Amino acid sequence: MFNNLSDKLDKALHVLKGHGKITEVNVAETLKEVRRALLDADVNFKIAKNFTNTVKEKALGQDVLTSLNPGQLMVKIVKDELTSLMGGETVGINLSGTPTVILMSGLQGSGKTTFSGKLANYLKTKKNKNVLLVGCDVYRPAAINQLQVVGEQIGVEVYAEVGNQNPVEISLNALKHAKETGKNVVIIDTAGRLAVDEAMMTEISNIHKAVNPHETLFVVDSMTGQDAVNTAKAFNDILNFEGVVLTKLDGDTRGGAALSIKSVVNKPIKFIGTGEKMEAIDVFHPDRMADRILG
Ligand code: GDP
Q: 3-state SS of the chain? A: CCHHHHHHHHHHHHHHHHCCCCCHHHHHHHHHHHHHHHHHCCCCHHHHHHHHHHHHHHHHHCCHHHCCCHHHHHHHHHHHHHHHHCCCCCCCCCCCCCCEEEEEECCCCCCHHHHHHHHHHHHHHHCCCCEEEEECCCCCHHHHHHHHHHHHHHCCEEECCCCCCCHHHHHHHHHHHHHHCCCCEEEEECCCCCCCCHHHHHHHHHHHHHHCCCEEEEEEEHHHHHHHHHHHHHHHHHHCCCEEEEECCCCCCCCHHHHHHHHHHCCCEEEEECCCCCCCEEECCHHHHHHHHHC
Position 147 pLDDT exceeds 80: yes
CB neighbours (10 Å) of residue 240? 11
**Residue of the nearest CA to atom 13 in ligand 1?**
111
Residues 189-211 have a mean pLDDT of 93
Residue 241's contacts (CB-CB under 8 Å, 6 or more residues apart) are: 105, 216, 217, 218, 235, 267
Closest ligand 1 atom to 137 CA: 4
The ligand 1 atom at the shortest distance from the C-alpha of residue 118 is 20
CB atoms within 10 A of CB 199: 9
Q: Which residue minimizes the CA distance to atom 19 of ligand 1?
A: 111
The residue contributing the CA closest to ligand 1 atom 26 is 275
Confidence grade of residue 210 (pLDDT, cut at 50, 70, 90): very high
How remote is the CA of residue 121 from the centroid of ligand 1, in Å? 16
- The pTM (predicted TM-score) of the whole model is 0.95
pLDDT (0 to 100) of residue 20: 65
Atom of ligand 1 nearest to the CA of 117: 7
Ligand 1 cavity residues, CB under 6 Å: 106, 108-114, 192, 247-248, 250-251, 273-276, 280
Has residue 91 got a pLDDT over 80? yes
Distance 261 CA to ligand 1 centre (A): 20
Residue 235 has pLDDT above 80, yes or no: yes
- Is it the case that residue 182 has pLDDT exceeding 80? yes
Give the mean model confidence (pLDDT) for residues 166-182.
97
CA of 255 to the centre of ligand 1 (A): 18
Separation of alpha carbons 146 and 152, rounded Å? 10
On whether ipTM exceeds 0.95, the answer is yes
Residue located nearest, by CA, to atom 5 of ligand 1: 111
Mean pLDDT of the chain: 93
Spatial neighbors of 233 by CB under 8 A, at least 6 apart, are 264, 265
pLDDT band at residue 65 under the 50/70/90 scheme: confident
pLDDT at 19: 64
Q: How far is the CA of 74 from the centre of ligand 1 (A)?
A: 38
- Please give the Cα distance from 218 to 107 (Å, whole number): 9
Q: What is the pLDDT of residue 222?
A: 92
Region 6-26: what's the mean pLDDT?
81
**72-81 confidence digits (pLDDT tens):** 888 899 999 9
pLDDT (0 to 100) of residue 238: 96
How many angstroms does the Cα of residue 280 sit away from the middle of ligand 1? 11
List the binding residues for GTP: 106-113, 189-193, 247-250
Substitution candidate for ligand 1 out of 107, 112, 114 with most atoms within 8 A of CB: 114
In the sheet with 185-189, reading across from the earlier edge strand, the strands are 157-159, 131-135, 185-189, 100-105, 215-221, 243-247, 269-273, 281-283
